[in-house]
Structure 1
Amino acid sequence: MSTTLTVEHLTIGLPEGADRPFAVEDVSLAIEKGEILCVVGESGSGKSMTANALMGLLPPGVTVKAGRAMFEGRDVLRLPEAEKQALRGASTAMIFQEPMTALNPLMRIGEQISEVFAAHDRFTQAERRARSLDLIREVGLPDPEKIIRAYPFQLSGGQRQRAMIAMALALEPKLLIADEPTTALDVTTQAQILKLILDLREKHGMAVMFITHDFGVVAEIADQVIVMREGKVVERGKAVDVLENPQHDYTRRLLDAIPTGKLPKARVLSEVPALEIKNLRKVFRTGGGLFKPVREVRAVDDVSLTVASGEVLGLVGESGSGKSTLGRTAVRLVTPDGGQVLVGGTDLAALSEEELRRQRNKVQMVFQDPYASLNPRQRIMRALTDGPITRGVPKAQAQAKARELLEIVGLGADAAQRYPHEFSGGQRQRIGIARALAMEPDLIIADEAVSALDVSIQAQVLDLLRELREKLSLSILFITHDLRVAAQLCDRIAVMQKGKLVEIGTVHEIFLAPKQEYTRQLLAAVPGADWDQVQVEPA
């Protein structure tokens, strides 16, 4: 087997004033033809920076200080910019975590694939279109003639990722670099993308460098693994050896942080409801212009469920299932088209805007991206006290409560005087939880609150939510696409599909005896999971 890429002693320097001198330090690796190398590590480990260096995409101020990367007999780190551009797309290609930011929102999908051919002066216009259609078919997108004319916003997340892969494959590269391409996807779409990459590797004989923080993904696709921490490689080896017999403490900690197949013991739930949703409906309508019929999407279609006081109810389903819309409708960020949302006996769906403002504290939301929901110009103290002060809480009392909450979520009272950018993603998520608690709600709705976090940070946030549930008897509607996470935290799980509630039951019922085929499909799609080995904690 021939070697496609050899990286020797790569060192990448960071700008002066950064938290460490090197983003990547003395990293070496090799990828054989047709092999998948998974590069694993937490945020800040240097895995994405390594990939960006290989593609010539390092940000300003970040430079290669030492080392070489040999590909097709040339050191790609030292090539002139014109030669790097010629290499990108033709011999090396990259797919990114968020295709919506990598795709041009103003260009049709077919134009963006054809642009790859045009940039390398390949084929006639007619040939480019024909080859674009072939690529769309190859990556499994439905109705190629429709997709080729579609804009990115008209595709789902999984479809956009497939379109990105089609662009990457356009000129049949020898090396494909995939940077967290499945992290933001639901489990069934993730499983489809992983299978697609395996199939394409088999068909084209590509070498694949797959960057991830999910050892479940590693178990599904990797031949070789390297584990990175703070810019350095701490472990390397065959995937089976690293997974079954890790040598480094850091690798063992990452593996231990993965949500396991062990189900928590059942808890006795209160009969007092914190939230009652009755026959909730939300319909989105699009089109209706000249020659365009109105299109209706029943995002939430006659859904009824109850969250008991002190319960964590998991709401799971694929992208487009309606789970986030249900959460946002329950908190009245989206206006329902029918049904009731009862919190403490009050129907939030029926309140006027003025009445709703007075009741807003009863239900609080924790979002997926805490950085986007925090004002970057405001100190954390202000983020935690604005809501209570608006409700009439004296400023000194609100500030004392904020400091207490920061202690509770494990950040310390001195965090109050810092700004959001001074915290990591996991720390910002803790701030988001503290801000929700500052309003003393009856219920928290957590919408994909841990899906973008590294596994070790995710484990810490889940531990925090468990502690808060016990300490404060907190009720949580926990929205997630990751059934492994739901198994760790939730008392019951509700499964949604295409706006409807298709199954609800205890965690044990859903994982050990699912009634619906759709639920079984979701469970089967979880990467690296073996539900035949599920264990239940003793009572």
Structure 2
Amino acid sequence: MTTPALAIEGLTLALPVMADRPNAVEDIKLTIAPGETLCVVGESGSGKSMIAHAVMGLLPKAVKPTAGSIKLAGRDLLTLDEAAMEDVRGREVGMIFQEPMTSLNPVMRISDQIVETFEAHGLHDKATRRARAIELLTEVGLPDPPRLAKAYPHELSGGQRQRVMIAMALALEPKLLIADEPTTALDVTTQAQILKLIDNLRHRHGTAVLFITHDMGVVAEIADRIAVLEKGVLVEEGTADQVLGSPRHPYTQKLLAAVPSLTPAVLPPLPDTAPVISVEGLGKIYRKRSLFGVAREVKAADDISFALVRGETLGLVGESGSGKSTVGRCCLRLIEPDRGRIALGDLVLSELKPAELRRQRKRIQMVFQDPFASLNPRQTVGRIISDGPVAHGTPRKEALARAKELLELVGLSANAIDRYPHEFSGGQRQRVGIARALALEPDVLVADEAVSALDVSVQAQILKLIKDIQGRLGLAILFVTHDLRVAAQICDRIAVMQRGRIVESGPTAAIFADPQHAYTRQLLAAVPGGGRFGH
């Protein structure tokens, strides 16, 4: 029998006294063989990232191991001091973090960050370190590695930054690679490339992979075995076929049932009424200097036209950089378009002066991707929700009473009005963001990747909430997303964007059944897990 690359036995991690449960994880037993990928899945707060941080010796000070062992090639990592763990990190265990932009040093060139890994472990001479950095960038499939090595993180795309993180994690050829939600923020085609890259590298190097994710599509694509965590307890473990094909535990069944299907939902017919919002010939050009000093123009939106009636949801889909968010923000004039016409009913929004625009902005509101970044951490949710109406002349007392109603509308308690954003989960914060957007009783809601950062079960709840509110209030919704599964469940129509242009549009069911454009077919083919989750 092969000796496991990693063996976790009876691991218990105690949480602080004030936490919502005694232990982050309890009596966890996991093993990973060389060359094997184990996916640890579960909702936010299930303890999966805590296991990764325990292996790396990077637990928060308030979280303490109270039982069990973590053996890497037979050596218990929990018994090592910090100096010994510093040697383990990188050399024996590499880690890819969820958000490469916050993990990479913004003021260091890419090659210097990889070279730093060798320097920290006293490996190679200067020339060899540089050469090895270029080799690693080549191995992870980055274009023109010698030139890219001189770049700074902000000059790379999200997918390129994630490849750099993988190159750094593999620099010292570790026995174990930990990938903590490494594809969550990526669009489907980039995600597919990163998953293929990790899979190829583990086969080539015989590296054991601990892959942490809440995305069951990703699990279906990459896992040899799956471990399911619920609130710190391992509730199910088995091969990918066993767990995905015939899950035994109700929690696993619930997670799988919550995965949005690629089969479009059957939505009620729309009223044949005048458009609530119409966009004609919208254009936006960004002018910027490239990595190598050459000025260039990027057409983020190029001759975009569409219209929405009451109760309709139009999905803007495409990869990162396709221009979807630019179009959404131009509709609110958070970004000023260079040309085109944006009208809310008979009101031409694109022609309004700033003072009049402020008065009319309540008619079109936005739900942002990251509710934590878009909510003021120093204000209570009551204040956050009521500030908009107060700015438009509603007395504070009346606005706060309405905020309580809105909290209940989005499935939260009215008693939560005096709590702060950090006291809520990610899904709850997104509900607060929706309540804030609805406080001004808009005609149009722009949802910019509003569920992309959420667990599948929370995502399903938020999508249902949005549809319920839309049915009740008759909202027109512009839904910006890179997740085609989500688009299939909520959108009446789809507009597919590539490099600033709409390349295909039409009813969701028609486009998913018979995509006409090669780019649409490419996007559908890249969805992780393919048609496995048809429900």
Matched residues in 2 for 1:137 and 1:520: separation? 28
Q: Is the 8 A contact 1:37 1:224 kept in 2?
A: yes
Listed one character per residue, the Cα deviations across residues 180-233 of structure 1 (whole Å, up to 9, x for unaligned) are 000111010000000001100110010000000011111111011100011110
Please tell me the root mean square deviation across aligned C-alpha atoms, in Å. Answer: 1.5
Counterpart of 1:282 in structure 2 is 284
Q: Determine whether 1:496 maps to 2:497.
A: yes
Q: Any residues of structure 2 matched to 1:500-511 within 5 Å, and which?
A: 500-511=501-512
Matched residues in 2 for 1:118 and 1:308: separation? 60
Matched residues in 2 for 1:418 and 1:130: separation? 53
Where 2:203 maps in the other structure, the secondary structure is: helix
Q: Is the 8 A contact 2:276 2:344 kept in 1?
A: yes
Matched residues in 2 for 1:179 and 1:394: separation? 46
> In terms of mean alpha carbon deviation, does 292-301 or 46-55 score higher?
292-301
**Counterpart amino acid of 1:345?**
D
Q: Is the 8 A contact 2:3 2:73 kept in 1?
A: no
Counterpart of 1:421 in structure 2 is 422
Counterpart of 1:229 in structure 2 is 230
Matched residues in 1 for 2:503 and 2:268: separation? 23
Cα shift at 1:401: 1.7
Counterpart of 1:256 in structure 2 is 257
**Counterpart amino acid of 2:69?**
R
Counterpart of 1:454 in structure 2 is 455
**Counterpart amino acid of 2:121?**
H
Cα shift at 1:262: 3.1
Cα shift at 1:400: 2.3
Matched residues in 1 for 2:49 and 2:153: separation? 24
Listed one character per residue, the Cα deviations across residues 386-431 of structure 1 (whole Å, up to 9, x for unaligned) are 1111111233332222121111111121121221111111111111
Cα shift at 1:269: 2.2
Matched residues in 2 for 1:297 and 1:315: separation? 19
Cα shift at 1:260: 1.4
**Counterpart amino acid of 2:284?**
K
Q: Any residues of structure 2 matched to 1:42-121 within 5 Å, and which?
A: 42-121=43-122
Listed one character per residue, the Cα deviations across residues 309-335 of structure 1 (whole Å, up to 9, x for unaligned) are 210111110000010111111111111
Cα shift at 1:150: 0.5
Where 1:82 maps in the other structure, the secondary structure is: helix
**Counterpart amino acid of 1:316?**
V
Q: Is the 8 A contact 1:109 1:163 kept in 2?
A: yes
Counterpart of 2:515 in structure 1 is 514
**Counterpart amino acid of 1:502?**
V
Matched residues in 1 for 2:290 and 2:244: separation? 54
Q: Determine whether 1:40 maps to 2:41.
A: yes
Structure 2, unaligned runs of 5 or more: none
Cα shift at 1:20: 1.4
Using a 3 Å threshold, how does the CA distance of structure 1 residues 126 and 176 change in structure 2: closer, same or farther? same
**Counterpart amino acid of 2:287?**
R
Counterpart of 2:473 in structure 1 is 472
Matched residues in 2 for 1:308 and 1:294: separation? 40
Structure 1 length normalisation: TM-score?
0.97
Matched residues in 2 for 1:312 and 1:185: separation? 23
**Counterpart amino acid of 1:275?**
I
**Counterpart amino acid of 2:288?**
T
**Counterpart amino acid of 1:92?**
V
Using a 3 Å threshold, how does the CA distance of structure 1 residues 261 and 288 change in structure 2: closer, same or farther? closer
Counterpart of 2:401 in structure 1 is 400
**Counterpart amino acid of 2:181?**
E
Aligned length, in residue pairs: 533
Where 1:168 maps in the other structure, the secondary structure is: helix
**Counterpart amino acid of 2:164?**
A
Structure 1, unaligned runs of 5 or more: none
Cα shift at 1:268: 2.2
Q: Is the 8 A contact 2:262 2:484 kept in 1?
A: no
Identity %: 60
Q: Is the 8 A contact 2:261 2:485 kept in 1?
A: yes
Counterpart of 2:24 in structure 1 is 23
Where 2:91 maps in the other structure, the secondary structure is: coil
Matched residues in 2 for 1:421 and 1:122: separation? 43
Cα shift at 1:137: 0.8
Listed one character per residue, the Cα deviations across residues 431-479 of structure 1 (whole Å, up to 9, x for unaligned) are 1111111101010000000000011100000010110111111110000
Q: Is the 8 A contact 1:483 1:523 kept in 2?
A: yes
Structure 2 length normalisation: TM-score?
0.97
Cα shift at 1:72: 2.1
Matched residues in 1 for 2:137 and 2:279: separation? 41
Counterpart of 1:133 in structure 2 is 134
Cα shift at 1:288: 9.7
Counterpart of 2:374 in structure 1 is 373
Where 1:430 maps in the other structure, the secondary structure is: helix
Matched residues in 1 for 2:360 and 2:222: separation? 49
Matched residues in 1 for 2:59 and 2:35: separation? 26
Where 1:263 maps in the other structure, the secondary structure is: coil
Where 2:8 maps in the other structure, the secondary structure is: strand
**Counterpart amino acid of 1:281?**
G
Q: Is the 8 A contact 1:426 1:458 kept in 2?
A: yes
Matched residues in 1 for 2:276 and 2:151: separation? 43
Q: Any residues of structure 2 matched to 1:515-534 within 5 Å, and which?
A: 515-530=516-531
Matched residues in 2 for 1:529 and 1:430: separation? 29
Cα shift at 1:534: 6.1
Counterpart of 2:298 in structure 1 is 297
Q: Is the 8 A contact 1:263 1:534 kept in 2?
A: no
